[in-house]
């Protein structure tokens, strides 16, 4: 069992959406310190204000996860001020939402840096202290798109596949070291946080946007139970069944379910 009580929890992408909810839930669970990382300094302050009613210490760090130097500088500050963390939640993410030939090269790189490569940097910063104590938990917020993609999600899905593989390799390496450090990877369908605004499920009664608060509680529960992977909703487990058949069958299912057209009216979050 992993407990949040009296623990130091770091959450990336915590200025809004799922990250903010995770911070609030960690505070409810009795976390001793909550460390918030995000590029959006205004959003960080808003998250901090939302935690005013809880006795835990809140630390905020404005950090651009696409900039390696910035990440290591912020990480050093966190280590200097906290002497290490207990739970690392790699939640930050971004999506471009364009067809391959329309994607912006700079944003392709940034998507991979934020969604996947920064996971390496942050783990290299905070894992050594966890190894010293032989205790800790690293949580990777990946996506169902790590398992199956669709139109206009090429860079996002590829980066989430990378984050999924990162988590798997980390888990295996820790297991081979007989480490007590745990890992969890979360693969949710679209969450109604605004990140995928404009996306339209065809059969919403079967597969609709997930409620952020529900996903948050599932994440916390999985961490507490040391569950290694969560794919939500359970309907998405049919992906593995579809993989047993030739690709054209999976492609037909995509079209029948309207998944291939779901991103047609994608808007995403408006930049502040």
Catalytic residues: 156
Token pair of 163, please?
Answer: 């984050």
Sheet with 8-12, strands from edge to edge, namely 57-62, 33-38, 8-12, 87-90, 137-141, 182-188, 229-232
Q: In three state form, how does the secondary structure of 150-202 look?
A: CCCCHHHHHHHHHHHHHHHHHHHHHHHCCCCCEEEEEEECCECCCCCCCCCCC
Q: What angle do CA 18, 22, 24 make, to 5 degrees?
A: 120
Neighbours of 160 (CB within 10 A): 26
Cβ pair 212, 168 in contact under 8 A: no
Cβ pair 31, 8 in contact under 8 A: yes
The burial of 175, by beta-carbon neighbours within 10 Å (0-12 exposed, 13-18 middle, 19 or more buried), is given as exposed
């Amino acid at each position: 069992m992993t407990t949040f009580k009296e623990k130091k929890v770091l959450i990336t992408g915590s200025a809004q959406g799922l990250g903010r909810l995770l911070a609030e839930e960690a505070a409810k669970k009795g976390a001793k310190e909550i460390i918030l990382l995000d590029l959006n300094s205004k959003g960080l302050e808003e998250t901090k204000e939302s935690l005013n009613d809880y006795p835990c210490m809140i630390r905020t760090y404005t950090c651009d996860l696409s900039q390696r130097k910035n990440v290591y500088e912020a990480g050093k500050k966190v280590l200097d001020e906290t002497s290490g963390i207990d739970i690392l939640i790699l939640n930050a993410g971004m999506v471009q939402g364009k067809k391959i030939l329309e994607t912006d090269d700079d944003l392709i790189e940034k998507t991979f840096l934020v969604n996947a490569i920064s996971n390496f940097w942050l783990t290299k910063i905070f894992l050594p202290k966890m190894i010293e104590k032989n205790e800790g938990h690293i949580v990777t917020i990946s996506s169902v798109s790590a398992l199956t993609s669709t139109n206009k999600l090429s860079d996002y899905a590829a980066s989430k596949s990378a984050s999924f593989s990162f988590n798997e390799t980390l888990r295996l390496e820790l297991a081979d070291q007989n480490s007590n450090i745990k890992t969890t990877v979360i693969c949710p369908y679209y969450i109604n946080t605004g990140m995928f605004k404009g996306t339209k499920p065809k059969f919403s009664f079967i597969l609709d946007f997930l409620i952020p608060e529900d996903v948050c509680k599932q994440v916390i529960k999985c961490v507490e139970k040391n569950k290694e992977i969560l794919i939500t909703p359970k309907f998405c487990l049919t992906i593995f069944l579809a993989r047993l058949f030739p690709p054209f069958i999976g492609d037909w299912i995509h079209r029948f379910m309207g998944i291939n057209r779901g991103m047609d009216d994608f808007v995403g979050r408006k930049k502040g």
